[in-house]
Amino acid sequence: MPDGTDDPTLSPEDLSRFEERVRSVLEAAWVDLGPAADGTPRGYTAPHPEVYPWLWSWDSCFHALVWARLGRPDRALIELAEVFAHQGPDGFVPHMGYQRRPGHHAAFWGRPASSCITQPPIFGHTVAELARRGIEVPERLVEASRAGVLFLLRHRRRDPSGLVRVVHPWETGCDDSPRWDDLCPGGFDRERWRTVKGDLVATVEFAPTGSPVDNPACPVAPAGFNALVAHAAAELATVTGDDELAAGAREVADALDARFDPGLATWVDAGVTERGSGRVRTVDALCGVLVTGDARARSAVTAVLLDPAAHASPHGPTGVHRAEPAYSSTAYWRGPVWPQLAYLLRAGLGGGPGGGEVAASTVRGARRSGLAEYWEPDTGRGLGAVPQSWSGLAVVLADALVDGTA
């Protein structure tokens, strides 16, 4: 049930109850796939058993972090391993896996068992975070993560700005974001955009390995996606000591910082949308705070995340700046709070200004919404699938609130 507390801190008893609520949600969503041929256990957390029964790569990477926080490193590593179940020979990691029904949507994707596009490579951060928690990540998973990040750095088509292109809006995870509106003929319309998204799958271009490398119908290099690529590379480099990862992270981060607009206080997408919808102020674009080397940009982003007229709310950062014409507090990807993005922003802000406020408000929203997929910023009303497992990230954020020190 939703928890309506407005207390910015949590008592140890409150945290324990919240932890058990999160545990019950993840346990109920666990999909046991049985042992692999070598006896290794397999499984993943379905984001919502009815609405979202399949594996999504960034969801599972976040689930691994929650399992680790819940004292289940075994589940964390099993889930992380399943992310790479359909990894390509050049490192490409599909964004969806149909482990329980390999033929499902095979005609749509042009291949069985998985999708033909990727998602933000959160696995780089996941490996680093598990290591920071003292969990020994098997070398095969470290190497799979490395290959997944290097696929994007080495093989994915680049924009002239130096940023990495996506081949489909779904690759960002934020597919109905106002940043994509220029690609919807006649302006954003949910049904028309759904048709466009389906059509864009057919124009993806593939390498001889079968991995997606470009889409001439979607020549966009989103700021948020690139921030997560740079962050994944930098995080993984702390584990592997890999110079190529470290250099790739710096290269993408520098290219991203060249696209910071101080007037808008956001990073701007590169490509065909850069003079239009690629400038809409959205919270995913603020993930540049994870990798920026620009102190003024960090300060400006912190300010808008703390501003109630911009992104601040009682229940987490709004998905779109309130002053944007596209802002809607309840529309999918056009205003509500998304817990995984709030978690990433908190990671970027750390213990500095704004970090505690983002953590406290997001935990409040997760509790009040009933661990919803996303929620209305001002009321905390749950939206989308309720409950959804990645909102368990709030228990990771909640640790710092026990003593009011976030």
Q: DSSP string of 265-303?
A: TEE--EETTTTTGGGS-BTGGGGGGGT---HHHHHHHHH
- Specify if 280 maps to a domain: yes
- Specify if 7 maps to a domain: no
Separation of first and last alpha carbons in the chain = 25
- Specify if 3 maps to a domain: no
Query: Is residue 214 within a helix (H) or strand (E), and if so which, with residue range?
Result: strand 212-214
Nearest CA-CA partner of 254 in 275, 234, 274, 235: 234
Cβ(169)–Cβ(180) below 8 Å: yes
Q: Half-sphere exposure of residue 276, counting CA atoms within 13 Å on the CB side? A: 12
| Cβ within 8 Å of residue 208, ≥6 positions away | none
Token pair listed for 16: 């324990």
- Specify if 95 maps to a domain: yes
Number of domains in the chain: 1
DSSP state for residue 213 in the 8-state scheme: E
- Specify if 6 maps to a domain: no
Cβ(176)–Cβ(334) below 8 Å: yes
| Cβ within 8 Å of residue 171, ≥6 positions away | 95, 117, 118, 119, 120, 225
- Specify if 4 maps to a domain: no
Q: Half-sphere exposure of residue 333, counting CA atoms within 13 Å on the CB side? A: 18
What CATH number corresponds to the domain at position 152? Answer: 1.50.10.10
- Specify if 2 maps to a domain: no
- Over its C-alpha atoms, the chain yields an Rg (Å, rounded) of 20
pLDDT (tens digit, 0 to 9) for every residue of the chain, 406 residues total?
Answer: 334 445 557 888 999 999 999 999 999 999 999 999 999 999 999 999 999 999 999 999 999 999 999 999 999 999 999 999 999 999 999 999 999 999 999 999 999 999 999 999 999 999 999 999 999 999 999 999 999 999 999 999 999 999 999 999 999 999 999 999 999 999 999 999 999 999 999 999 999 999 999 999 999 999 999 999 999 999 999 999 999 999 999 999 999 999 999 999 999 999 999 999 999 999 999 999 999 999 999 999 999 999 999 999 999 999 999 999 999 999 999 999 999 999 999 999 998 889 999 999 999 999 999 999 999 999 999 999 999 999 999 999 998 787 554 5
Question: Tokens 């796939």 belong to which residue?
Answer: 33
DSSP state for residue 166 in the 8-state scheme: B
What is this structure's pTM?
0.97
DSSP state for residue 231 in the 8-state scheme: H
Domain that includes residue 337, residue range = 12-397
- Output the average pLDDT for the chain: 96
Residues 25-39 as b/e (b if ≥16 CB within 10 A, e otherwise) read bbeebbbeeeeeeee
Residue 349 CA to residue 371 CA, distance in Å, equals 23
Render pLDDT for 27-73 as a digit per residue (tens, 0 to 9).
999 999 999 999 999 999 999 999 999 999 999 999 999 999 999 99
